[in-house]
Structure 1
Amino acid sequence: MFLIKKIDSLNKAHKRWCIIMQLSKDDLLKCINQSVDGIMISDHRGVILYVNEQYIALTKLSKDIIGHNMQEYVEAKVVEQSTCLSAIKHNRVYTRIHHELNDVEIISVSKPVYNKKKEIEYVITNVRDISTYINIEKNLKQTDRKFGELFDAIKENKQELVVSSPEMINIMHLAQKVSKVDTSILLLGETGVGKDVFAEFIHKNSIRKGERFIALNCGAIPNELMESELFGYEAGSFTGGLKEGKQGILYHANKGTLFLDEIGDLPYHLQVKLLRVLEKRKYSPIGSVKEIPLNIRVIAATNKNIQEQIRNNKFREDLYYRLSVLTLLIPPLRKRQGDIIPLAVYFLKKYNSKYGVSKKFDTDTLIQLQRYHWPGNVRELKNIIEKMVILSQGDILDFQLAFAHEEITEEQLSLKSFLGKKEKEYLINMKKVYKTTREVAKAIGVDHSTVVRKYKKYGIS
């Protein structure tokens, strides 16, 4: 039995050895060359025996340094100080941070390799660009100082924009400037960039700041209901309507600001009516010949290519020109990376306060946030920070947990779920227009208890 076990053990050892031998010298060098670290190997005197490609790229030394002693480069002042030579001199691991040009910082670690006599035979040196880590730490400290007061101001309902990048600072200043001019504005940008936040910022810095700001998502209300929601209707105008009629969103937005989000989804036949309202500053409810004077400012927004929609006869060119007297293009988050950490810190403070916790970022998480491409922009960043705050077990946020339970897309939703999502969006829009659940119930033609039940079902407070 002992002999059988011994043979079995030898067979396993032989298999392991065969696997190791499959990695040839060329394969080993190929793998080392793919390392994100620069690697240099020298002998016990500091003579360079091997360097990988990353070492040359990071140190900017010549490719023909093999065979030369590191002391030559120190004496020629090509290298300020060599960790390799220091490791040989002090007979221990030696670490140093090198400050290079263009704000590049490199950490160099040299470790002696000993022979059987405990003598240094080789020295292996690893170098790594740590500029990203250093800059992230500096940025985080600056952000903590800069946005501490901002967070307090936002908690007190003083509307502010969280911006840090030069691109967004310029756009914020432009938004402040155009807010003083009482004309139509068109906000352009991808989904989730914060067009609604900018719209409210413009309103709160305008002469209409004391009046209502009403937001209407043109893509959230069914086409057949959009006209009645926007213009309202007289009593007996159509079957299924309220007996006493209904005042539309234009009525409630009078003297204030109307934000038409996703204007590209507005039905084509309503575009004509909206154009007439903007030109005449009057409107007529459905079933009425009476024209009601209207004093509003319209801010519209879209994530669609309006010019392409015009070419495809999906959007009226004359309405476009009427809406785009002033235009602001809000860039995607991936093109304004200076805003990622400030926004992340703001959302972290917000959700720490909401959930009564004290979660923190570590450097690695901040780097991952900085490197992520953010297809969903600021809305996705906000969502991910909240997920991390909820799901992370310790005090340090775990970026990977944000993707542990991916949300299903609209195409994957069942019909029931899809309709429920649209119903929730519709009720949220109605809540912005009407003050009480009874007013909402009356406006949409259902029992008050139905609205209360729906609010509870969708978590609308």
Structure 2
Amino acid sequence: MTIHKKHIQQINDELYDIFESSFDEIFVTDANGYVLVVNSECEKNYALKVEDFIGKHVKELQEMGIFYPSATLKVIESNQAIELVQKTNSGRYLHVRTRPVFTNDGHLKSVISYSRDLTDLMELKRKVEEMEEQLENYKKELNEAVDLEGIVTKSEAMKKVFSTIQRVASVNTTVLLLGETGVGKSRVAKLLHQLSTRKQHPYHELNCAALPEQLIESELFGYEGGTFTGAFREGKKGIIELSNEGTLFLDEIGELSLSAQSKLLHVLQDRTIRPVGSTRAVSIDVRIIAATNQNLEQMVEEGKFRRDLYYRLNVVPITIPPLRERKEDILPLVYQFLHHFNTVYERNVRLSPKALDAFLGQEWKGNVREVENIIERLVVTGEEMITLKDLPFAKEFAIDPPVHTLPEMIEHVEKEMVIKAFEQHRSSYKVAEQLGISQSQASRKIRKYVSDSTEH
């Protein structure tokens, strides 16, 4: 073989490498529409071998359902380049650019098509459209929610609670809020105050479980100066007196000692208080709203809570259901807290549909408070788009990674061999020769493995 022939062979090899290594499918027919040559990308697009195309007419391939419509036929009819989207027999979508090639005297010589697989893009577009539709549905659900002075709900159970609140807010009666920790009892207490005729007057809260027993009475009723070591010389008003003409919310009422319960009963009956260490009675006008997550009836039977105080407090009981029993309230709450904390921290954090679905799937043992805490954490620490992996409870939705199967291991070894051979020779012809495979197989594997490794 002469040097000239070797040079021509080298050029042909390089052209073949370019032809086979193209990310686009290249499809060439003669002027009549008979297939002359295609690259191996066709095998992926149509699930047929290269040799199945050679010599066939594009009209025959179209009638067989291999692809539709045929861009080549349209170019032969019009002698003009066109672009179209084509669907294949394997369910893939291709963006086809087809152009005519003419002889020097202007006659049609051949038709060349370049096709790029758009299936992943179209699937991505479909998913984006689904996400947008899902988000719109969530927004519609949010718009259907009832908002009462900043507390949102969509559930019938909470709408009944709202109805009761609106009826009793303006009535100067004691209210007992019942429900698990975190359901929003303090929010309801504030709402009762805001809707009442006392809204222009003080509102105070006291968590009865947060103070030691020896301090609870002085906090509630106040004390005279010099009553005990560490007391203010001039004395101090208790929270009941500070709430005069307003509302006092006593959370965890079941934690009061029997002694404090007795004095609170006296307040409810006589509308007076007696500060610790004092003999004087102070008249007060205060509305008491109490709350507990305990079973007060059982505590009464066990002698841990005064029966008469229980009856005084239990004039209007309002039970707030846990979040797991009103799942339709989760998304309105999520959006409410998201808007609030985005405003507070000057962020623009959003949740993906899958993240929202994860919120719906949680049991929320900590109820509304737990949702609020998690949203605040995500707004403070998260990216602008919160996905499933960003959620603190994401592990509950994680899928176990697949074990290495024999085909996976074989593919791993094959990849290493192809990459090593290509780095050594930089030619699909030489790679094919070293690995004992055809050149078209070598080109496909180089495109698959070498491109992947460089992209990653």
Normalised by the shorter chain, which TM-score bucket?
A: 0.5 to 0.7
Match of 1:367 in 2: 357
Match of 1:351 in 2: 341
Match of 1:187 in 2: 177
Q: 1:313 to 1:400 in 2, by over 3 A?
A: farther
| Pairing partner for 2:230 from 233, 240, 261 | 240
RMSD (Å), alpha carbons:
2.7
**Structure 1 residue ranges without an equivalent (≥5):** 1-88, 96-131, 151-157, 406-461
The one-letter amino acid paired with 1:389 is: V
The answer to whether the 8 Å contact 2:142/2:331 transfers is: no
| Pairing partner for 2:204 from 214, 229, 234 | 214
Match of 1:177 in 2: 167
Q: Tell me how far 1:393 sits from its aligned partner.
A: 3.0
The one-letter amino acid paired with 2:370 is: E
Q: 1:371 to 1:134 in 2, by over 3 A?
A: farther
Q: Tell me the TM-score normalised to structure 1 length.
A: 0.55
In structure 1, distance between residues paired with 2:177 and 2:92: 56
Question: 2:385 is paired with a residue of what secondary structure?
Answer: coil
Match of 2:91 in 1: 93
| Pairing partner for 2:140 from 134, 139, 142 | 142
Matches within 5 A, 1:227-376: 227-376=217-366
Percentage of matched positions with identical amino acids: 43
Q: Tell me how far 1:221 sits from its aligned partner.
A: 1.2
In structure 2, distance between residues paired with 1:340 and 1:378: 8
The one-letter amino acid paired with 1:236 is: G
In structure 2, distance between residues paired with 1:390 and 1:383: 11
The answer to whether the 8 Å contact 2:224/2:275 transfers is: yes
Question: 2:368 is paired with a residue of what secondary structure?
Answer: helix
The one-letter amino acid paired with 1:380 is: E
The answer to whether the 8 Å contact 2:198/2:245 transfers is: yes
Q: Tell me how far 1:144 sits from its aligned partner.
A: 5.3
Question: 1:259 is paired with a residue of what secondary structure?
Answer: strand
Matches within 5 A, 1:23-172: 91-93=89-91, 137=135, 139-143=137-141, 145=143, 159-172=149-162
Q: 1:134 to 1:165 in 2, by over 3 A?
A: farther
Q: 1:306 to 1:221 in 2, by over 3 A?
A: same
Matches within 5 A, 1:186-205: 186-205=176-195
Q: Tell me how far 1:141 sits from its aligned partner.
A: 2.0
Q: 1:133 to 1:305 in 2, by over 3 A?
A: farther
The one-letter amino acid paired with 1:159 is: E
The one-letter amino acid paired with 1:391 is: T
In structure 2, distance between residues paired with 1:209 and 1:170: 23
Question: 2:364 is paired with a residue of what secondary structure?
Answer: coil
In structure 2, distance between residues paired with 1:167 and 1:378: 15
Q: Tell me how far 1:237 sits from its aligned partner.
A: 2.0
Match of 1:125 in 2: none
The one-letter amino acid paired with 1:202 is: L
Question: 1:365 is paired with a residue of what secondary structure?
Answer: helix
Q: Tell me how far 1:400 sits from its aligned partner.
A: 4.4
Deviations along 1:205-242, whole A, 9 cap, x unmatched? 01111101110110111111111111111122223322
Q: Tell me how far 1:91 sits from its aligned partner.
A: 3.1
Q: 1:144 to 1:310 in 2, by over 3 A?
A: closer
**Structure 2 residue ranges without an equivalent (≥5):** 1-86, 94-129, 396-456
Deviations along 1:402-445, whole A, 9 cap, x unmatched? 2489xxxxxxxxxxxxxxxxxxxxxxxxxxxxxxxxxxxxxxxx
The one-letter amino acid paired with 1:386 is: E
The one-letter amino acid paired with 1:277 is: V
Q: Tell me how far 1:339 sits from its aligned partner.
A: 0.5
Question: 1:209 is paired with a residue of what secondary structure?
Answer: coil
The answer to whether the 8 Å contact 1:185/1:300 transfers is: yes
Q: 1:184 to 1:136 in 2, by over 3 A?
A: farther
The answer to whether the 8 Å contact 1:231/1:284 transfers is: yes
Question: 1:285 is paired with a residue of what secondary structure?
Answer: coil
The one-letter amino acid paired with 1:181 is: V
In structure 2, distance between residues paired with 1:186 and 1:222: 23
Q: Which moved more, 1:235-244 or 1:373-382?
A: 235-244
In structure 1, distance between residues paired with 2:235 and 2:162: 41
Q: 1:359 to 1:143 in 2, by over 3 A?
A: farther
Question: 1:314 is paired with a residue of what secondary structure?
Answer: coil
Q: Tell me how far 1:396 sits from its aligned partner.
A: 3.0
In structure 2, distance between residues paired with 1:134 and 1:395: 14
In structure 1, distance between residues paired with 2:133 and 2:269: 52
Q: Tell me how far 1:310 sits from its aligned partner.
A: 1.4
Question: 2:248 is paired with a residue of what secondary structure?
Answer: strand
In structure 2, distance between residues paired with 1:173 and 1:357: 35
The answer to whether the 8 Å contact 1:387/1:401 transfers is: no
Question: 2:173 is paired with a residue of what secondary structure?
Answer: coil
Deviations along 1:168-191, whole A, 9 cap, x unmatched? 111111111110110000000000
Q: 1:404 to 1:292 in 2, by over 3 A?
A: same
Question: 2:340 is paired with a residue of what secondary structure?
Answer: helix
Residue 225 (structure 1) aligned with residue 215 (structure 2):
yes
In structure 2, distance between residues paired with 1:164 and 1:135: 20
The answer to whether the 8 Å contact 1:216/1:259 transfers is: yes
The one-letter amino acid paired with 2:314 is: S
Q: 1:216 to 1:92 in 2, by over 3 A?
A: same
Q: Tell me the TM-score normalised to structure 2 length.
A: 0.56
The answer to whether the 8 Å contact 2:352/2:385 transfers is: no
What is the number of residues matched between the two proteins?
273
The answer to whether the 8 Å contact 1:392/1:401 transfers is: no
The answer to whether the 8 Å contact 2:348/2:384 transfers is: no
In structure 1, distance between residues paired with 2:92 and 2:264: 72
Q: Tell me how far 1:401 sits from its aligned partner.
A: 3.4
The answer to whether the 8 Å contact 1:391/1:401 transfers is: no
